[in-house]
Amino acid sequence: MTNEKKKYWVGFDLGATKLLAVVFNDELEIVAERRRKTKAAEGLAAGFKRIRETIEQALDAAHISTADVAGIGVGSTGPLDLDKGIILETPNLGWGETPLKATLEKAFDCPVIVLNDVDAGTYGEYRRGAAMQARCVVGIFPGTGIGGGCVYEGKIIRGRRNSCFEIGHIQVLPNGPLCGCGQRGCLEAVASRLAISAAVAAAAYRGAAPTILKNAGTDLAEVRSSVLSAAIEAGDKTVEEIVRDAARWLGIGAAAAVNLLAPDVIVLGGGLVEAMPNIFADEVRNVARKRAMPAFRDAFRVTVAKLGDYATALGAAAWVQTVLLAGHDKR
């Protein structure tokens, strides 16, 4: 047995509905994990306490101490100051400006890097998932909104201070529906789960989606990904067509990314895609090939994410590992 200190890396997924802490070894294999639900409006101090406790529980489950942790990567929702590791706003949690990096570095005495959750998920798929060895990978993750990420030659594309690649806010329909960002016709306004659920709830109200009406009524919040999938399996054709329409809009957004970056892989992820992978992969692939420039049509593939719930945590851990082992800060 050598005296060489083992290195472990923690990936943390700070989502709107969950906290997931995963301990990885140097080969990015899962050693242990702990997860908890987030609690909206519980206050910043209580939120930090839950984050710290979730990481500590994962370390305990892995039978290691904080001294064995080489670095912590956090994939977070919300607009971020990447250099300072500050979450500028957490509307779903009600925390306001959150100095996540400084607080976690003080608590665990190791380097911490904070990055966008979809950037982390895309990087995770690049390192250990559906886009390994890709030169350029674009990640599209439809959910309540539509997140995007891009890894180019091993680096996460980002802005000077902030994350970027907001593919959900490219305009696909001039003067279209109002988006949460305040603009009209964004991809998110026509292809997110929220947009799909609203259209499906209206169809249920009209009597055109009987399975939805039975299982979820017309409550938009109850029309979740699993409910949509079950309705399609039960034969609700209107629901299937609404979902396929949204997937076709995603294909238009994907084609725009192809024309800009010529990615070799487009990865589709998130709960909506996990629930209906074939519909989304087929529609996005077909539309993107038709809409992309002829020279690019056979130069990319569309695939479904492989890492599922672990994509963000693995990507965050892999990114902090990459940055620290490179010996300089690529944040």
Q: Are residues 215 and 288 in the same domain?
A: yes
C-alpha dihedral over 244, 139, 17, 14, to 10 degrees?
Answer: 180
Measured CA distances, 22 to 156, 201, 330 (Å):
21, 36, 23
pLDDT at 96: 75
Q: Mean of the pLDDT values across residues 102-108?
A: 96
pLDDT at 77: 86
Q: Are residues 246 and 134 in the same domain?
A: yes
Q: Are residues 78 and 100 in the same domain?
A: yes
Q: How far apart are CA 94 and CA 166, in angstroms?
A: 22
Q: Are residues 254 and 322 in the same domain?
A: no
Q: Are residues 140 and 284 in the same domain?
A: yes
Residue 200 falls inside a structural domain: yes
**By the 8 A CB rule, do 80 and 117 touch?**
no
Which of residues 319 and 90 earns the better pLDDT score?
Answer: 319
Residue 231 falls inside a structural domain: yes
Q: Are residues 216 and 255 in the same domain?
A: yes
330 band by pLDDT with thresholds 50, 70 and 90: very low
C-alpha dihedral over 185, 190, 194, 199, to 10 degrees?
Answer: 120
Q: What is the pLDDT of residues 111-153, one digit of tens each?
A: 999 999 999 999 999 999 999 999 999 999 999 899 999 999 9
Number of neighbours of residue 153 by Cβ within 10 angstroms: 8
pLDDT at 41: 57
Residue 36 falls inside a structural domain: yes
Measure the N-to-C terminal CA separation of the chain; round to a whole number of Å.
35
Predicted TM-score (pTM) of the model is 0.93
265-268 and 30-37 beta bridge pairing: unpaired
327 band by pLDDT with thresholds 50, 70 and 90: confident
Q: Are residues 32 and 45 in the same domain?
A: yes
Residue 331 falls inside a structural domain: no
Nearest CA to 66 among 12, 111, 35?
A: 111
Q: Is 240 helix (H, G, I), strand (E, B) or coil?
A: helix
Q: Are residues 259 and 136 in the same domain?
A: yes
Q: Which two tokens stand for residue 293?
A: 């420039």
- Number of domain units in the chain: 2
Within the chain, residue ranges assigned H as helices are: 44-62, 100-108, 117-128, 187-191, 193-206, 210-215, 225-233, 237-261, 271-275, 277-291, 311-326
Average predicted confidence (pLDDT) for the chain: 92
Q: Which residues contact 248 (CB under 8 A, 6 or more apart)?
A: 283, 284, 287
Measured CA distances, 142 to 166, 212, 273 (Å):
12, 20, 7
pLDDT at 5: 61
User: Which one-letter DSSP state was computed for residue 251?
Assistant: H
Q: Are residues 93 and 198 in the same domain?
A: no
Q: Which residues contact 283 (CB under 8 A, 6 or more apart)?
A: 244, 247, 248, 250, 251
Q: What is the pLDDT of residues 29-75, one digit of tens each?
A: 999 999 998 776 567 788 889 999 999 999 999 999 999 999 999 99
Q: Are residues 97 and 171 in the same domain?
A: no
Q: Are residues 185 and 317 in the same domain?
A: no
User: Which one-letter DSSP state was computed for residue 331?
Assistant: -
Which of residues 2 and 278 earns the better pLDDT score?
Answer: 278
Residue 172 falls inside a structural domain: yes
pLDDT at 26: 94
Q: Mean of the pLDDT values across residues 235-248?
A: 98
Residue 213 falls inside a structural domain: yes
94 band by pLDDT with thresholds 50, 70 and 90: low
What does 38-91 look like in DSSP terms, one character per residue? --TTS-HHHHHHHHHHHHHHHHHHHT--GGGEEEEEEEE-S-EETTTTEE---T
Buried b (16+ CB within 10 A) or exposed e, 317-326: bbbbbbbbee
Q: Are residues 60 and 168 in the same domain?
A: no
* Residue whose entry in the numeric block shows the structure tokens 């490179």: 326
Residue 122 falls inside a structural domain: no
What does 5-21 look like in DSSP terms, one character per residue? PP-EEEEEEE-SSEEEE
* Domain carrying residue 38: 8-117+310-326
Residue 222, domain CATH: 3.30.420.40
Q: What is the pLDDT of residues 194-226, one digit of tens each?
A: 999 999 999 999 999 999 999 999 999 899 999
Residue 69 falls inside a structural domain: yes
The yes-or-no verdict on residue 331 having pLDDT over 60 is no
- Nearest 5°: phi and psi at 16? -70, -25
